[in-house]
Amino acid sequence: MARVLLILPTGTYRAPDFLAAAGVLGVEVVVASEHRQALSGAMGDRALVVSLRRPEAAADAIEALHRRTPLDGIVAVDDDGQPAAAAACARIGLRCNPPEAVAATRDKARMRQALAAAGVPQAEYRVAEVGDDVAALASEVGLPCVVKPVSLSGSRGVIRADDAHAAEAAARRIRAILGCAGEDADGPLLVERYVPGAEVAVEGLLRAGRLELLAVFDKPDPLEGPYFEETIYVTPSRHGDAALRRIERLTQAAADALGLREGPIHAELRLDGERTTLLELAARSIGGLCSRALRFGAGGSLEQLILRHALGLGLDDLRRESAASGVMMLPIARAGVLVAVRGREEALAVPGIVGLETTVVPGREVVPLPEGDRYLGFLFARAGTPGEVELALREAHSRLDIDIQALAATGSV
């Protein structure tokens, strides 16, 4: 029986889907995470406690485990586990990305530098160190601009500024967000020229450096700022064949520039007429529960594809299902305490809606972007066309009554 180590950050949404995929494949699973209590009930002795903030130490523990009971593959399901997975795979000799390539995807300044060196089309940018004149840097790259941390993900801390003064204010706010997130509040920030156009997300799999394009998602809601909360993803893309070829070529070029070779990637790009620009690329698959919008071959999940690749089990059919599909990440409209999400049955009754998962329990404080780091849940739809999927998601969302109670004046988020 093949044996895989899954690196599951404690706060990930994705553990059930990867464990289910392993079950379908008949694969033995060992789970590595920061806290044993999060694992012991389900995993027993097949649980390894590691510090994801110390990837080399985590790799030491994984290597020691491998010597006792060999592993056939290692998969980090989210961003936080990628450095440890790459370090451990490199030592053990398993299929993986080079650690330096993974490090470049985890630091947006390093990513920009690598893409620039390879001539990959991207936004004009400057790196703002603590104490730098952010207003001047914003003027250099051109306004409007986007200020963002070099770490964090999911649009957290990403703010559009339309003038130099707003860029300075955005930088101060982002440094406060970094401090609350346990990151270095005095670390570098990116100041980038705002890139207009329609945004798409690419889901792909690298095999020996070659990109297998799995899906291109359209994002029909405009992402123009000041914050960049994603909502609806729909596939297949409604962009034409020429645009899709440009998307694929640019994603491959970005992966090459970063030195990525193996495993899933998730990229964000913008299309403005004939111009295609890479925003970011991560060495992981799509986040949250969004992968549930994808099925391949005879109904296999994205997680099954990822595990099969990591374990060298073969990939016979990478074709996405013929039906259109999509997901809506339920936005948080305002800060407060979630009281209830009502209208579930009404939303599920919309033709085309195939699932609704809420991921925040009532009574929990919720925070919108740019400070927030999660969504309320996920709506899923399937239909004959992308347009029908989009309409179903919008109608279902309109039937939900999301009750968020404002915090008392003395409260804090």
Sign of the four-CA dihedral 312, 215, 9, 280: positive
Sign of the four-CA dihedral 308, 309, 312, 315: positive
DSSP state of 335: S
The answer to whether residues 228 and 219 touch, using CB atoms and an 8 Å cutoff, is no
Using the CB atoms, write b or e for 315-345: b if 16+ within 10 Å: beebebbebbbbbbbbbbeebbbbeebebbe
The answer to whether residues 339 and 404 touch, using CB atoms and an 8 Å cutoff, is yes
Whether the link from the prior residue into 236 is cis, omega within 30° of 0, is yes
2/6 Cα distance (integer angstroms): 13
pLDDT of residue 171: 98
CATH architecture for residues 124-193: 2-Layer Sandwich (3.30)
72/85 Cα distance (integer angstroms): 13
pLDDT of residue 299: 86
DSSP state of 319: P
CATH dotted code for 323-413: 3.90.1170.50
The whole-chain average pLDDT of the chain stands at: 94
Using 50 as the pLDDT threshold, list the residues of the chain that sit under it: 37-41, 44, 410-413
The answer to whether residues 94 and 63 touch, using CB atoms and an 8 Å cutoff, is no
CATH architecture for residues 3-103: 3-Layer(aba) Sandwich (3.40)
Place of tokens 């650690």: 99
Lookup: tokens for 4: 């895989």
- Sorted by sequence, the CB contacts under 8 Å of residue 319 that are 6+ apart come out as 296, 297
370/154 Cα distance (integer angstroms): 9
pTM of the model: 0.94
The answer to whether residues 257 and 274 touch, using CB atoms and an 8 Å cutoff, is no
Element (H, E) at 125: strand 125-128
pLDDT of residue 407: 83
- The percent of the chain in helix, strand and coil, each rounded to the nearest 5, is 35, 30, 40
pLDDT of residue 248: 98
**What ranges do the domains of the chain cover?**
3-103, 124-193, 323-413
Whether the link from the prior residue into 226 is cis, omega within 30° of 0, is yes
395/403 Cα distance (integer angstroms): 18
DSSP-assigned letters across all residues of 372-404: ----SEEEEEEESSHHHHHHHHHHHHHH-EEEE
pLDDT of residue 36: 64
pLDDT of residue 411: 46
Using the CB atoms, write b or e for 274-292: b if 16+ within 10 Å: eebbbbbbbbbbbbbbbbb
